[in-house]
Amino acid sequence: MGRETKETEENQKTRHKMVVVGPHVSIITLNVNGLNSPIKRHRVAGWIKEQDPTICCLQETHLSPKDKHRLRVKGWRTILQANNEQKKAGVAILISDKVDFKAKQIKKDKEGQYIMIKGTLHQEDITLINIYAPNTGAPKFVKQLLIELKEDINNNTIIVGDLNTPLTPMDRTSRQKINKEIIELNEKLDQMDLIDIYRTLHPKTAGYTFFSSAHGTFSRIDHILGTKANINKYKRVEIIS
């Protein structure tokens, strides 16, 4: 599905919210579907202030490298972005001023499909990866990216974003079977001891983050992944409308 069809179909994105670690840390992820309009930026900034997360991950910002300064939210001064010259894709991580965060390493691509930051939060190591997977070939893209970032992924890693991929049949109202690419992505997640936190904490709940009016179906394609080793640290995960 192209960008344009997305807009005309008025696909509604909902958001994920999650709470983790030590002095508790909350992480929210949202596909904003473009931030070039000042009104939209104002609404997103208002929404972030209302949710008041420690970390906010945005996808599809559509900001070019020269426009990235336009993303500003009072109270979230630390903003790290991967942008695309063509005003496509684009991801951003915003970190609250209320926490002691120090970035040690940043990796990102020129297409604005992902950004990874390694650092410390309240003196604890944390690796955050924010991904926007392309509409076509998403499972393959995510699997390949995980392979490339394999050395960076450890027990303190949290992967969030719009993966454009339902991971189980339960993640679609149509309940259609998952294809070979998704099966292979799940096998890769298993090998790397990564878990879908929402599905782990809500094994029987059908929650959705995306509505496609073209197909009349709901699906859960936005995810927060963590490591099996840290399963007891993930206190709560929810999808908010």
DSSP string, 59-76: E-----GGGGGG---TT-
Sign for the CA dihedral angle at 165, 213, 59, 97 comes to negative
| CA distance linking residue 219 with residue 171, whole number of Å | 5
Where on the phi/psi map is residue 178: left (φ > 0), alpha (ψ -120 to 50), or beta? beta
Residue 193 assigned ligand-binding role = no
Helix 180-191 × helix 138-148 angle, to 10°: 20
Residue 232 assigned ligand-binding role = no
Residue 9 assigned ligand-binding role = no
The encoded tokens of residue 163 equal 């993966």
Report the Cα 122 to chain-centroid distance in Å: 22
The encoded tokens of residue 229 equal 């080793």
Residue 31 assigned ligand-binding role = yes
In a 3-state reduction of DSSP, which class is residue 159?
A: strand
| CA distance linking residue 45 with residue 27, whole number of Å | 15
Binding site, by residue number, is 31, 60, 162, 164
Binding site for Mg(2+), by residue number, is 31, 60, 162, 164
